[in-house]
Structure 1
Amino acid sequence: MIELRGRGIVPGVVTGEALVSHETISGWGGIDPATGTIIERRHELCGVCFTGKVLVFPGAKGSSGWSGFFQSTRLLGTAPLAMVFTTVSTKSALGAVVTRVPAVTDLDQDPVQVIRTGDRVTVDGDRGLVIVHR
C-alpha cells in the first residue's frame, strides 16, 4: 500500500480502478461527454473510456470550456469516479467541482509516476489522501 498526501479539492471518499494519463487532457474537443471517452487523436488514451474510473492525470489543457465538458459527463452519467491531478489550475479545479467527484491535487509524490492503470485506488477528498492498493 502506498499513501500520497495532498490537498482535497472536492470532498468525498471512493475506491476504484485507476486510469492513468501521462499527458494533460483537453476537455473541449478532447473528450466525448456522451460516452466518457478520450477522443483527442494524438492522446495516449485516445479511444479509452474513463467512466467509473479514478482518472489520474497531470492537469487540464485547452480552453475554459474544459469544466463544461466534464460537467456534461456528470449530467450524462459518464463521469470519472474521482480525479487525481498533479497541477491545479482554474480549469482542473472548476472541472472537478462541477463534476462533483472526489478530487485531490498537490500531492507529496507525482501520482502519474506512482499510480499505474489498473491499480485499485482510494481517493479521500475530505483528508487530501490517495491510497494505492496493489
Structure 2
Amino acid sequence: MIIKGRGIARGSATGALLVSDAPLSFLSGVDPESGVIIEEGHPLKGESIAGRIFAFPYGKGSTVGSYVIYALARNGKAPAAIINREAEPIIATGAIIAKIPMIDRLEAPLPALKGGTEVTVDADAGTVSWQE
C-alpha cells in the first residue's frame, strides 16, 4: 500500500510505526538523552520514539523544540522518520537540521495500522508505504 504526501525533509527510512492522535512539544515533551516521551498527559508518555517512524498531527510549543530534535539525532535517539498531518516550522526545521526524513499532507489518512507495523517513508518521492 502506498499513500502520497508532501516531502518536507529529504531522505527515506523504514521502521516500526508509532502513531499519536495528539500533538507533541519536543521541548520538555521528549527526553533528548533517551528519546522517551515525557510530556505529562500525552497518550504516548513513556514510549520511545528512537528509531521509529513517528506519526503525529503537528508539533506545538517553543522553537527550541527544533534543537531538541537535533539533540535526539546527535544522541542516536531520534525517530527514523516523521509523518505529520500538517508540518509546522518547529518540527520541519528540526527534521531538516537533524536529517530526519519528514512528510506531511498525506492524500489519505493512515489506516488504523497496528502499532509496530513496518512502514517506509520516502520523503524524496513523497510517499509512505507498507505491506498488507
Q: For the residues of structure 2 that align with 1:92 and 1:59, how far apart are their CA atoms?
A: 8
Q: For the residues of structure 1 that align with 2:59 and 2:17, how far apart are their CA atoms?
A: 17
- Paired residue for 2:118? 120
Q: For the residues of structure 2 that align with 1:61 and 1:110, how far apart are their CA atoms?
A: 21
Note the C-alpha offset of 1:63.
1.0
- Paired residue for 1:19? 18
Conserved? CA contact 1:115–1:132, under 8 Å: no
The letter for the 1-side match of 2:117 is: D
Query: Any idea what SS the aligned residue of 1:60 has?
Result: coil
Aligned pairs for 1:1-134 (under 5 A) are 2-111=1-110, 113-134=111-132
CA displacement 1:72-107 (0-9 Å, x = unmatched): 001111111111111111112112112211111111
Conserved? CA contact 1:6–1:129, under 8 Å: yes
Note the C-alpha offset of 1:114.
4.5
Q: For the residues of structure 2 that align with 1:10 and 1:116, how far apart are their CA atoms?
A: 25
Note the C-alpha offset of 1:115.
4.0
Structure 2, unmatched stretches of 5+, are none
Structure 1, unmatched stretches of 5+, are none
Q: For the residues of structure 2 that align with 1:133 and 1:15, how far apart are their CA atoms?
A: 12
**Whose strand fraction is larger, Structure 1's or Structure 2's?**
1
Identity %: 34
The letter for the 2-side match of 1:121 is: V
RMSD: 1.3
Q: For the residues of structure 2 that align with 1:133 and 1:103, how far apart are their CA atoms?
A: 20
TM-score if structure 2 supplies the norm length? Answer: 0.94
Q: For the residues of structure 2 that align with 1:63 and 1:116, how far apart are their CA atoms?
A: 31
Note the C-alpha offset of 1:12.
1.4
Conserved? CA contact 1:84–1:103, under 8 Å: yes
TM-score if structure 1 supplies the norm length? Answer: 0.92
Conserved? CA contact 1:73–1:79, under 8 Å: yes
Note the C-alpha offset of 1:117.
1.9
